[in-house]
Amino acid sequence: MPTRPDPAARPAPSPPRRPGPAGRPSLPRAGRRPAARSPLPPPHDPTIGSTGLTRSAQSARGPRQRDNARVIDRIALTEADAAKVRGLRRMKTVATSLLLAVAVVYGLATLAEHRGAGAWAGYVAAAAEAGMVGALADWFAVTALFRRPLGLPIPHTAIIPTKKDQLGQSLGDFVGDNFLSEQVVRDKLAAVALARRAGDWLRRPANADRLTAELATALRGGLTVLRDADVQAVIAETITRRVDAQELSPVLGRLLERTVADDGHRRLVDLVCERSHDWLVKHREAVLSAVQGGAPGWTPRFVDRKVGDRVHRELLRFVTEMRDAPHHPARGALDRFLTDFAGQLQDDPATRARVERLKSDFLARAEVQELIASTWANLRAMVLDAADDEHSPLRRRAREAILTLGNRLASDERLRAKLDGWATDAAVHVVTGYRTEITSLITDTVASWDARTTSRKIELNIGRDLQFIRVNGTVIGSLAGLLIYAATRAVGG
């Protein structure tokens, strides 16, 4: 074992100081001390250290650098990695102990053979010697995967650190060719029967309740993330732009023409006549005051009152007859006016231009823009309330829709085939169109790894099993050496 420098050892005394220019001894520079020689790196240990470097490399680093490397490894390793480290060290100890055991057996058997112990000593020595060769050869093979054995620059060693990028590319190509091919995706999705499984899952009430709750949560989250000011601005701009782009006059003309043709306006006329009759009955004095106020000042007041009374009676009679007579001439005149106006809205350029100006002026009013913007706030509040309430019509209908979809998927073969076809085509499109991007996730990730980290991670995952190769090499080598020695003795006598 290499010896470490004694911490208590003091550096050799410095040589005598040479006299300065004036004959006085010169003082050493502040802070400078004689440099102590660093110890030679110890011989390489077949096992790896906690940092994934060779023992010689760790020793050459110095105590502080070795401590920093151990701290980095402790930070990088997870609990699962720590368990793998313990298992790897345990198997390395077993394999190395077996190598030492056959070496001891070989030494004892050789000594016994030289002292005339008998023929059995030769067989044991041959078996132990072949076991050592097998153990060392397999140790070299396993070690060469992750680092250079004994730190020597032997060709085709440290395969994983030096071939990391090529291994990542090969792994990506393997995944792309064997897992992301069109036929593999189609066969796998056909075996899965995605639509049937989805139907069986959705038709269960508990699953429907769960999915409804998840959808409500997602809806609340989406509405919470959205900024009200941005949404209101988008809604106001969209509505204004759509209304500006659509000429309103022809639409109103067709609507009015269809309404008059279907007598849809008669209820409105009946309502106006009835409200006018009631108002005239209750406000006779208002009519008289209006007539008197508009009369000349030279007319006697009793004359103005009689004229006002006559006007009130005639208005009341006219409104009553129009209310009670469906075919009153005034109603016919109103129908003809509405019909003519509907035609003008559709065909008269002047009327259409005037309606467009009115529409633009109406949309430009601040009150209208505030009303449009407030639509989002009301809609958002209504949706949030419905999403929070488990018994709201929105959530009940969503649950019913989910159950209905599940039952249809479970019973309708054509619907299942259609959905499976859509899902398969979509998956094939993604796989064939983005195969390079998918596999680049593997290759780019491996390429971004540090070579030492990559080697360390891979060794932690497969290194324990590789140590069995060393054990098997020792055992198989011993058996092979024993058979070869026995055959040689049998043939040579």
Query: Which has the higher per-residue pLDDT, 279 or 117?
Result: 279
| Alpha-carbon span 76 to 73, nearest angstrom | 5
Residue with tokens 């997602």: 218
pTM over 0.75, yes/no: no
Q: What is the pLDDT of residue 71?
A: 35
Amino acid at 74: R
Q: What confidence score (pLDDT) does residue 11 get?
A: 44
pLDDT of residue 61: 45
- Please answer whether residues 422 and 415 qualify as being in contact, where contact means their C-beta atoms are separated by less than 8 angstroms: no
Rounded average pLDDT over 402-422:
91
77 pLDDT band, cuts 50/70/90, is low
Mean pLDDT, range 354-380, rounded to an integer: 82
As a whole number, the mean pLDDT across the chain is: 80
| Tens digits of residue pLDDT in 328-356 | 888 889 888 988 988 988 888 898 889 88
Tell me: pLDDT of 471 over 90: yes
pLDDT digits (tens, 9 = 90+) for 417-449: 999 999 999 999 998 888 888 888 888 888 888
pLDDT value of residue 76: 55
Q: Name 417's Cβ contacts closer than 8 Å, sequence gap at least 6.
A: 195
Percent of the chain beyond pLDDT 70?
84
CA dihedral (285, 286, 292, 295) positive or negative? negative
Q: Which residues, at least 6 apart from 125, have a Cβ–Cβ distance to it below 8 Å?
A: 106, 109, 110, 113
Average of pLDDT values for 290-317? 81
More confident: 8 or 147 = 147
Residues 41 and 55: their CA atoms lie apart, in Å, by 9
* Nearest residue to 157 via CA among 140, 167, 144: 144
9-27 residue pLDDT tens: 444 444 444 444 444 444 4
At 268 the pLDDT is: 86
Angle at 200 between CA 199 and CA 206, to 5 degrees: 105
Residue 397: the pLDDT is 93
Q: What is the pLDDT of residues 184-216, one digit of tens each?
A: 888 888 888 889 999 999 999 999 999 999 999
Q: What is the pLDDT of residue 32?
A: 41
Q: Which of these ranges, 91-105, 341-355, 362-376, has the smallest mean pLDDT?
A: 362-376
Q: How many whole angstroms separate alpha carbon 359 and alpha carbon 348?
A: 17
